[in-house]
Structure 1
Amino acid sequence: MAARIYQRPKSAMQSGKARMDEWVLEFEQSEARKPDPLMGWTGSGDTQTQVTLTFPTKEAAKEYAAKYGIAARVHATPPRTLKLQAYADNFR
């Protein structure tokens, strides 16, 4: 089983920062998705992709993966940059 560990990004729909400090462990797909011949929906028999585990720290997520023998890759959190501009810049 392969998995990835990353820090939850900020929601684009709201300005709040709730749950941004959580680290998430998600399993990667082990089987390709294919369309269902009757309904046309896309799916696969892989149920591990539905599992999402949250941890308070990156170290806790790495310890969990090591304990259960999960090959996990840690994705670094990109640095946050602020775009400072004045209200008058909207009218230039």
Structure 2
Amino acid sequence: MSFIRARSVAQLRAVRIAQPVNARFFSSPTDGSVKTSPADAPTTPPKDSSLIRKEGPGEAMAHHQPDYDATIDHATSTFSPVPRRVMDGSEPGDAVAAAVLSGAPTDLQARTVRIYKPSKPATQSGTWHSHHWRMDWDVLGKGHRWENPLMGWQSSGDFMQGTHINFKSKEDAILFAQKQGYEYFVQEPNERKFVPKAYANNFMHEPKKLKHIRTK
């Protein structure tokens, strides 16, 4: 019985070999010039691995460097490139910006901070809150605020719109902005000028012609 079964299997194999084979299951040897191995892929380095690699402190920084040669559309874009001393510390400066290794997002470094002295409110409140200097992220026009990608509006979705820092002096605020690598501008306050009332001077003697003081 086993002899008959072996004979039938041999005949079936012979029939299959004689018939044309389906192209889906047939593979011919490829040409030697064709690159088929994973090592020949263009995105894979020839020697080192692309998944496990030791990076130094300089290489571990953010790799999304802005394109300084890009053409800016002044009609729709208000973005200003981040200085190189902030991104990679390549430009000389008085101090190394903390943004080089802080990992802060690029959008934050592109913002301009405003250093100013708060003015006295119009009410009869005191002047205590107008003695210090304040630094906030510019909320004026062209201040690189967050914009809604749908409508282009600036709203409270800006994560820095409610942030401010107080300093005792203007020099302290400027030094802090320089250490952090922020672009800043100083808005000088408008000092109020008080002129003392001198109604009695109208009746002082003068060697000239007498004054004609009108009360109506």
TM-score by length of 2: 0.33
Q: Which residue in 1 is equivalent to 2:172?
A: 60
Distance 1:81 1:15, change over 3 A: farther
Contact 1:33 1:43 in 2 (8 A): yes
- The structure that is helix-richer by fraction is 2
Contact 1:33 1:44 in 2 (8 A): no
Whose radius of gyration is greater, 1 or 2?
2
Contact 1:31 1:44 in 2 (8 A): no
Equivalent residue runs for 1:12-91 within 5 Å: 12-29=122-139, 30-31=144-145, 43-82=155-194
Unpaired runs of 5+ residues, structure 2, are 1-110, 149-153, 199-215
Rounded to whole Å, the distance in 1 between the matches of 2:145 and 2:132 is 28
Runs ≥4 in structure 1, deviation > 3 angstroms?
31-34, 83-86
Rounded to whole Å, the distance in 1 between the matches of 2:156 and 2:130 is 30
TM-score by length of 1: 0.71
Unpaired runs of 5+ residues, structure 1, are 35-41, 87-91
Rounded to whole Å, the distance in 1 between the matches of 2:173 and 2:146 is 26
Q: Deviations over 1:42-87 (max 9, x none)?
A: 725311121011101000100110010111100111121226569x
Secondary structure at the counterpart of residue 161 of structure 2: helix
* Deviates most, 25-34 or 4-13: 25-34
- The structure that is strand-richer by fraction is 1
Secondary structure at the counterpart of residue 48 of structure 1: coil
Secondary structure at the counterpart of residue 50 of structure 1: coil
Q: Which residue in 2 is equivalent to 1:37?
A: none
Rounded to whole Å, the distance in 2 between the matches of 1:15 and 1:83 is 21
TM-aligned CA deviation for residue 4 of structure 1? 0.6
Rounded to whole Å, the distance in 1 between the matches of 2:112 and 2:145 is 12
Rounded to whole Å, the distance in 1 between the matches of 2:155 and 2:186 is 26
Identity in percent: 28
Q: Which has the higher contact order (CA 8 A, sep 6+)?
A: 1
